[in-house]
Structure 1
Amino acid sequence: MRLRALLDAPDLRLRLLTGGSQLDRAVRWVYTTDLPDPRRYLTGGELVLTGMLWRHGPADSAAFVAALAEGGIAALAAGYADDETQAVPDDLVQECRRRGVVLFEVPPDVSFATVTERVVRAVTEERPGGAEQRWRDRLHTLVATGAGPDDMCRLLTDRIGADCVVLSAAGRRVAGTGLLPADDRRRLARRYLSAEPLPATERLPAGRYTLLAISPRQPRIAGWCLAVAGDLDADDPGVRGPVGEVCTLLALEWSRQEEARQVADRQGAQLVRLAGSDSAAPADVASRLQVAGFAPDEPIAVVVAAATGATPPTALLGEICAGRSDRSLVTGVDGESVAIVATDIDRFGEFVEYVRAQAEALRPGLSGSRVGIGVAAAPACAAGLHGALEEARAVRRLGEHRPGQVRVAGSGELTSHGLLLATVPDELRRSYTDRLLGPLVGYDAAHRTDLLATLEAFLDCDGSWTRCAARLHLHVNTLRYRIGRIERLTGRDLSTFPGRVDLYLALKLA
C-alpha cells in the first residue's frame, strides 16, 4: 500500500507533518517501537509507530530519526495515546524534515492497533492470493460459528468496501451495515418486487443501490433482498464472487428461519382449528394461546386472507405482521391464511389502515393474484378468538366483491350498507341501475339537462328543497319542476322514504 492511502483513510485521521512530496512511497510492513535505536529490527519499507517514550530531550529526537533514516523506513507515525494535551514535539518534526523522513501525527483517540490492522490487511491483500485466502478464512469462520446475517453483511462490506442491507419484501430491515431511512427502504423493496430481471439498480437521494434476490427460487414476496450501495460491476470477479457467496449464506439463514416458521405454522394451525370449533373448551384455547405467547385476557386482532393465483397468502400476512408486533402467529388453514396479532383494541382502526397500507405496498409482488383480507378484533383473545375468526372471515368474503387486486375490510364496516352493496353481482347491479337511472341518463343526453346530478344533490341534501336549490343555484320552483320530471321518468315518489331509498341505492350501485 502507499502512504497516500493511509493519509486518505477517514477513520485514521492521520495528520501529515513532513514529507508531502513522498506520499507515493510503498509500505511493506508495520513496526511499533519505543526503543531509542530500533535500526537492527528494521529491514526497510516499514511504517514505524512510536509513542515517544524514548524521548527525554531534543537530542533524543536526532538520534532516533537518524536510526530510522538509516533503516530505510517508509514513514514514521508518532502520537501520545489518550492524551490530547500533548503534540508531536517540534524537534522531532525538524529532524524528520532534515533527514527526509515522512512524519504523521496519530490522533490520541486512534489506537496503534487500528493503524497496524489497516496496514497488515492492505499489505496481505496485495500479496498474490493473500486477499482471497483471507476472505476464505473469514467465510469459513462465519459458517463454523453459525454467525447471523449482520455478521455476513459486515464481512461483505469489509471485502468490497460498500455498505449493504438485507430487506424484506415490505422494506423491513433484516440486517446490514448501512442505515437507510424507512422511505428509502420501502422504495428499494418496491423496486425489488417489480424489477424484471434482477439484479436491478435504484437511485436514492443517498446514491445508487444494486438489488439482488437472496432466495431466487422463492416468490419475492416471501424472500429477502440484498441491497448493496453502488452500481456493482458484475463482470469483476473480485465483486461477483464475494457477493454471490454471501447471498448463498444469507439464503441458508433464510431457509433456517423459514423452517422455524413452518414449525410454528403447524402449531398455529392446530390452535386456529380448535378455536374455530363450536365445541372447543375455553380452557383448551387459553392453554394453546399461552403456548403461542399470548395471555388469555389480552386484546388481539385476527386477520384472515385468501388469494387466487400463485401468491402464498401466508407469506403476505407474515410480512405484514412482522413489521407491526413482536407477538404474532401466522398460519395456513384449509386454503386460507390466519394471523393472530397482539394489538391495542382502542387503536383497532389504525391497525386496519396499517394492514391496508402494507398490503397495497406488497401488491407488486402478488404476480397477478387477487387477495381478499378481513380484519376483526377481540378484547380478550381466549374468550373472543372464535367470534373474531368468524367475523374476519365474514368481512373477507364481503370485501372480495370490491374492485381492485387487494381488498381489505375491517369488522367495523359490517355496519355499513356500502359493504353489503359490494356483494351485489355485476349483472344484477347493471340491471337495477339501468331500470331506475337509465331513463334519466337518456333524457339528459337527449335534452342536455342535469336530472341525474339534480337527483344526487337532492338526496345528498336529505330532500331539503331550500338547501338543494341553494347548492345548485336554482329557484325552488325550477328544482320542483326537475324533481317532478325525475319522478315521472323513474316511477318513484321522492316525497316517500321507499322512493328515496330505491334511487339512493341505484346511485350507489352505479
Structure 2
Amino acid sequence: MTPVRTLLEIPDLRLRLRSGAALLDREVSRIYGTELPDPSRYLSAGELVLTGLLWWRADDDAEPFVTALADAGAAALAASGADTGGIPAELVRACERHRIPLLEVPPDLSFAVITERVVLALAGDREDSPGARKRLLSAATEHASLPELLRHGAAELDAPCWVLAATGRIVAASTQSEPLDAAAAARAFLDAGCRTVVRDGLTLLPLGDRSPLPWLLVVGGDRADRPTARAAVAEELASLVALDRSRSEQVRGVTDRLAAPLLRLVGGAALSEGELAGGLGATGLTTDTALRVLLLSAPEPTPGLGVHLLVELLAEHPGRSFVGELPQDGEHACALVETNEWPADWADTATAALSAVEPLLRGGRVRAGIGGPVTIAGLRGASEEARHALALAARGTDRIGVVSGEQIGTHQLLLAGVADEFRHSVRRRTLGPLLAYDEAQQGDLVRTVRVFLECSGSPGAAAKALHVHVNTLRYRIARASELLGKDLTDFPTQVDVYLALCVEDRLA
C-alpha cells in the first residue's frame, strides 16, 4: 500500500492538498472513480476516490457524498473542478468535518493518467515476485496492447491467460491454440459473486475496476509450485488489465461525447443546421451513412449498466458506434450505429449475450428496441421505430427482450405507440358485442374470427384450422358479422377487426 502523501509527491500528477494535512499517512490500497451522488454501495476501505464532480448540483450534495466515503473508510478524495469552476467550498468543509484528505486534480489532467500513475505506484510498493512484477509493469508503462500484456503475463505465470467479458466474450487471449469454454467460465465467475474462484483447473480473477459489467482474468494451468508468488503475479496482471480497460473507456468516452448533438436528435431535440453539421463533422458520419438506433432499458438502481450493456453488445461490430444516455428522458441508454454490415441474427445474438449476465440484473429485466436502417434525414423516424419496438419488448414476460422493427409488422409498431386508454376504447367499440356474446353463451366466436382473418379470410383454410365443416365456419362468421354490425368479408372491415384483436391480445 502507498500513503496519501506519496501521491502528492508524484510530479506528473501535480495534485494540490485542500484539506487533511494531518491525515497523509493513510494507506491507499486501490483507486476507484465515480460520478455517483451516493457511491456507498461500491466503496471499500483504503480507496483513493477519484471524481470529476459531475454529481455536484448544489452545496447540499457534498454531505451525503463525503459521508459515504467516511463510512466506507476511504483513504482520500481526489476531485477535479474543471466542470464546476473549481473545488466547491462546501466540499472542502465536508471533507474537513469527516476527516477525508481532499486532493485537487489540475483541470488539464486526464483521469486515465491519474489512474495509471496511482496503479503503478501501488504496484511498486508490493514485495511479491519483484522480477515478474517489474517486467509486467514495464510492459504496461510502454503501453503494450492488451494481447501483448497477456502474453507477458502468460510467460511470467507459465500458463495461458484470457480476458473475458461477463457475457463470455473473449476480449483478448495469450494463445489461440488452447481451448476455453468462455461462457462457462464467465457464468461461474458471476455465480461466485464476481470474486476469485478456482474451477476446472482455471483461476478466475476480478479486475477490481468496479464496472457494472465486469471483466475477468482467466489463468489456466493450475500449478502447485510457488503458489503465493504466482497468485501475486496474477493479481498484478489483473490490475494492469483493469488499467488498460480504463484507458480504453476514457478514449471511448471522448468519442461518444462527439456524438452528443446526434443523440439529442434521437431524443427528439431540434438541431440547427450548424449543430447538425458539427455533429456529423465530429463523428465522421455523412448525410448518406446508413444508421440504426438502439434503445435499451436496464434495471435500476445500477447506474451506467445500460450504457455498458450497449457497449458490450457492439464490441465486435465492424462499423462505428456512439453510445450514451438518451438525452431528454434519462431512462434509456442509446446507441447510434453505422450499419453497412448488420447481421440478420443480431437480435438473437444480443438476447443470448444479455441472458448470459442475468445474475447481474438482480431479478430485473432488460429490454431493447432497434430502429432503422436510415440516413441522418430519417433519424427521428428510426428513433420512433426503436421506441415502439422497445415498447413491444416491454410487453413480453421474458426477463430479456430484444425486438427489431424488421421483426414485427407495421400494425404492431403502430399499436405499440398507442396509449392504453385508447386501446380500451378501440376494444370496447369494435369487439364489444362479440366479447359480450362469448361471455354470455360460453362461445368461441372471437377465436373463430381471429383464425378466419389470420387465414386471409379463406373459409376453407379457417375451417381446416378449426377442425369444423366449412358451412359451420360460414355460419359462425355470418353470426359474428351480425353481432358486430359489420361485414367480415369486406377487406377494410377485416383490417379494423384484426387491429382490434391485436389490441385485445395486448390487454389480455
TM score, norm. by length of structure 1: 0.59
State the secondary structure of the residue aligned to 1:407. Answer: strand
- Is it true that 1:244 corresponds to 2:247 in the alignment? no
Give the equivalent residue in structure 2 for 1:150. Answer: 147
Please give the per-residue CA displacement for 1:189-228, whole angstroms capped at 9, x wherever unaligned: 344444435334566xxxx533222135222x2x321122
Give the equivalent residue in structure 1 for 2:294. Answer: 303
Question: Which runs of structure 2 are paired with 1:387-426 in the superposition (5 Å)?
Answer: 387-397=381-391, 399-412=393-406, 416-422=410-416, 425=420
Give distance in 2, aligned partners of 1:245 and 1:178: 20
Q: Does the 8 Å CA contact 1:135/1:159 hold for their aligned counterparts?
A: yes
Q: Does the 8 Å CA contact 2:166/2:216 hold for their aligned counterparts?
A: yes
- Is it true that 1:468 corresponds to 2:462 in the alignment? yes
Give the equivalent residue in structure 2 for 1:342. Answer: 338
- Structure 1 pair 438–200 and aligned structure 2 pair: CA distance change class (3 A): farther
1:212 aligned to 202, 205, 213, which one? 205
Q: Does the 8 Å CA contact 2:261/2:275 hold for their aligned counterparts?
A: no
1:224 aligned to 215, 237, 243, which one? 215
State the secondary structure of the residue aligned to 1:318. Answer: helix
Aligned length, in residue pairs:
369
Q: Does the 8 Å CA contact 1:170/1:189 hold for their aligned counterparts?
A: yes
Residue identity over aligned pairs, in percent, reads 31
- Structure 1 pair 506–374 and aligned structure 2 pair: CA distance change class (3 A): closer
- Bigger CA drift: 471-480 or 292-301? 471-480
Give distance in 2, aligned partners of 1:506 and 1:279: 33
1:366 aligned to 361, 368, 374, which one? 361
- Structure 1 pair 470–183 and aligned structure 2 pair: CA distance change class (3 A): farther
Cα drift, residue 165 of structure 1:
0.4
Q: Does the 8 Å CA contact 2:194/2:206 hold for their aligned counterparts?
A: no
Give distance in 1, aligned partners of 2:191 and 2:412: 33
Q: Does the 8 Å CA contact 2:262/2:279 hold for their aligned counterparts?
A: yes
Cα drift, residue 258 of structure 1:
2.3
Question: Which runs of structure 2 are paired with 1:284-303 in the superposition (5 Å)?
Answer: 284-303=275-294
Cα drift, residue 319 of structure 1:
0.9
Please give the per-residue CA displacement for 1:112-162, whole angstroms capped at 9, x wherever unaligned: xxxxxxxxxxxxxxxxxx993532442343344333332332233223332
Give distance in 2, aligned partners of 1:251 and 1:160: 18
Q: Does the 8 Å CA contact 2:167/2:354 hold for their aligned counterparts?
A: no
- Bigger CA drift: 230-239 or 322-331? 230-239
Q: Does the 8 Å CA contact 1:172/1:323 hold for their aligned counterparts?
A: no
Question: Which runs of structure 2 are paired with 1:24-423 in the superposition (5 Å)?
Answer: 132-179=129-176, 184-196=181-193, 198-200=195-197, 208-215=201-208, 217-219=210-212, 221=213, 223-230=214-221, 236-273=227-264, 279-282=270-273, 284-311=275-302, 312-334=305-327, 335=330, 336-344=332-340, 347=342, 350-352=345-347, 354-381=349-376, 383-397=377-391, 399-412=393-406, 416-422=410-416
Give distance in 1, aligned partners of 2:269 and 2:349: 31
Give distance in 2, aligned partners of 1:157 and 1:186: 21
Please give the per-residue CA displacement for 1:394-419, whole angstroms capped at 9, x wherever unaligned: 54355434443333333446853234
- Structure 1 pair 153–503 and aligned structure 2 pair: CA distance change class (3 A): closer
Q: Does the 8 Å CA contact 1:233/1:239 hold for their aligned counterparts?
A: no
Give distance in 1, aligned partners of 2:486 and 2:265: 52
Please give the per-residue CA displacement for 1:371-416, whole angstroms capped at 9, x wherever unaligned: 33332235434x4445544543454355434443333333446853
Q: Does the 8 Å CA contact 1:391/1:411 hold for their aligned counterparts?
A: yes
Give distance in 1, aligned partners of 2:235 and 2:407: 48
Give distance in 2, aligned partners of 1:456 and 1:482: 12
Question: Which runs of structure 2 are paired with 1:12-31 in the superposition (5 Å)?
Answer: none
State the secondary structure of the residue aligned to 1:341. Answer: strand
Q: Does the 8 Å CA contact 2:136/2:153 hold for their aligned counterparts?
A: no
Cα drift, residue 323 of structure 1:
1.5
Q: Does the 8 Å CA contact 2:321/2:338 hold for their aligned counterparts?
A: yes
- Bigger CA drift: 457-466 or 227-236? 227-236
Give distance in 2, aligned partners of 1:235 and 1:405: 45
- Structure 1 pair 487–319 and aligned structure 2 pair: CA distance change class (3 A): same
Give distance in 1, aligned partners of 2:230 and 2:432: 65
Q: Does the 8 Å CA contact 1:210/1:228 hold for their aligned counterparts?
A: yes
In the alignment, structure 2 segments of 5+ residues that lack a partner are: 1-126
Cα drift, residue 325 of structure 1:
2.4
Let me know the Cα RMSD of the aligned residues: 4.3
Cα drift, residue 318 of structure 1:
0.8
State the secondary structure of the residue aligned to 1:374. Answer: strand
Cα drift, residue 163 of structure 1:
1.0
- Structure 1 pair 442–418 and aligned structure 2 pair: CA distance change class (3 A): farther
Give distance in 1, aligned partners of 2:198 and 2:504: 47
Cα drift, residue 476 of structure 1:
3.3
Q: Does the 8 Å CA contact 2:128/2:232 hold for their aligned counterparts?
A: no
- Bigger CA drift: 314-323 or 347-356? 347-356
State the secondary structure of the residue aligned to 1:322. Answer: coil
Cα drift, residue 256 of structure 1:
2.1
In the alignment, structure 1 segments of 5+ residues that lack a partner are: 1-129
Q: Does the 8 Å CA contact 1:269/1:333 hold for their aligned counterparts?
A: no
Give distance in 2, aligned partners of 1:131 and 1:437: 76
- Structure 1 pair 217–352 and aligned structure 2 pair: CA distance change class (3 A): closer
* Matching residue's letter, 1:153: L
Give distance in 1, aligned partners of 2:388 and 2:424: 21
- Structure 1 pair 460–398 and aligned structure 2 pair: CA distance change class (3 A): closer
* Matching residue's letter, 2:250: E
Q: Does the 8 Å CA contact 2:168/2:184 hold for their aligned counterparts?
A: yes
Cα drift, residue 438 of structure 1:
7.2
* Matching residue's letter, 1:337: A
Cα drift, residue 439 of structure 1:
5.7
